[in-house]
Amino acid sequence: MKKICVIEGDGIGKEVVPAAIKVLDEVGDFEYIYAEAGLECLKKYGDAIPDETIEKAKECDAVLFGAITSPKPTEYKGKYRSPILTLRKELNLYANVRPINDFKNIDLVIIRENTEDVYVGREYYDEEKEIAIAERVISKKGSERIIKFAFEYAINNNRKKVSCIHKANVLRITDGLFLRIFNEIGEKYKDKIDYDDYLVDATAMYLVKSPEMFDVIVTTNLFGDILSDEASALIGGLGLAPSANIGDEYGLFEPVHGSAPDIAGKGIANPIATILSAAMMLDYFGMKEKGNKIRNAVKRVLEKGKVTPDLGGNLKTSEVVDEIIKELRGYSRVR
């Protein structure tokens, strides 16, 4: 039996994660180990992600993560550490995988390096010069492993092309390194899969104008973060956008959306991104058939328009879950 570390977090995380667990329980038997993280945890324990939570995550087969509310920059100075960034670092989750799929016409995957770039948090303010400076870290090792991951993902999932997104015409050293390594690795895979590259600003336009141009995108941390949020608008918004954080030993699965404190507790949060993230977790476990069963049930519910207000519907979170479960039960149960 697979053991899942469950971190609901803050806001609607406490609503969408239990929703996903109800769906998971329809397709298999799992052991759930609950842990705390987020702003409420910070107020309670003085730490947004206690060491106990990190240890629980390491003891499980995967982590199902909800959403957290970050404190204001003026609050908890020196005492706050981002739970998701901490887990990515502690578990060495270097690959962020974000599928963009509307179950009709759009079907692409954005694979983003997850541990480097400006997200290393090395920034400072020069009082004398009145300049704020952030370091951008792009390493040979980090670039090689995310690019190889992207090509292997493409091959294993019957994809046709990998596109490198960069800004090497301006960031000649950092993105220059990333692009050079991409081309070197691409040459080794050229008999199995096509590859090309685009500037990030042009890609932002192409995603809106012609998303069918792309299949698998691989890029650096910041660019991937921005482009994946942009691309989610093509399929109905962040409420439909799942993601996986994957390393050599661990996997963490979470919806792309935030904690949405404005609607928390109202019972109208869209649970589909979290449910699709749980399906990605099943893929990670080698339970692809069960993952597909969930995705197909979600597809049918979307086609019938049985959705929450963010998608133009009028159903509650729990009602959407009930509809997905009805669809699951309409087919032979997979065990």
| Domain locations in the chain as residue ranges | 1-102+240-335, 103-235
Output the pLDDT for position 334.
43
| Band of residue 261 on the pLDDT scale cut at 50, 70, 90 | very high
Does 199 score more than 50 pLDDT?
yes
Which residues, at least 6 apart from 195, have a Cβ–Cβ distance to it below 8 Å?
151, 161, 162, 163, 164, 182, 183, 186, 189
Q: Residue 33: helix, strand or coil by DSSP?
A: strand
In tens, the pLDDT along 153-185 reads: 999 999 999 999 999 999 999 999 999 999 999
Catalytic site residue from 76, 229, 299, 316: 229
Q: Which fold has domain 103-235?
A: Isopropylmalate Dehydrogenase (3.40.718)
Catalytic site residue from 44, 79, 124, 201: 201
Read off the pLDDT of each residue in 292-315 and give the average, rounded to a whole number: 96
| Band of residue 73 on the pLDDT scale cut at 50, 70, 90 | confident
Same fold for the pair 1-102+240-335 and 103-235: yes
Does 327 score more than 50 pLDDT?
yes
Q: What is the CATH number of domain 1-102+240-335?
A: 3.40.718.10
Catalytic site residue from 175, 225, 283, 310: 225
Does 90 score more than 70 pLDDT?
yes
Active site residue 167: yes
Does 98 score more than 60 pLDDT?
yes
Tell me the CB-side half-sphere exposure of residue 312, using CA atoms within 13 A. 6
Does 76 score more than 80 pLDDT?
no
Read off the pLDDT of each residue in 71-95 and give the average, rounded to a whole number: 86
The span from the CA of 91 to the CA of 247, in Å, is 7
Q: Residue 130: helix, strand or coil by DSSP?
A: coil
Read off the pLDDT of each residue in 125-133 and give the average, rounded to a whole number: 95
Catalytic site residue from 56, 167, 290, 293: 167
Are the C-beta atoms of residues 193 and 174 closer than 8 Å to each other?
no
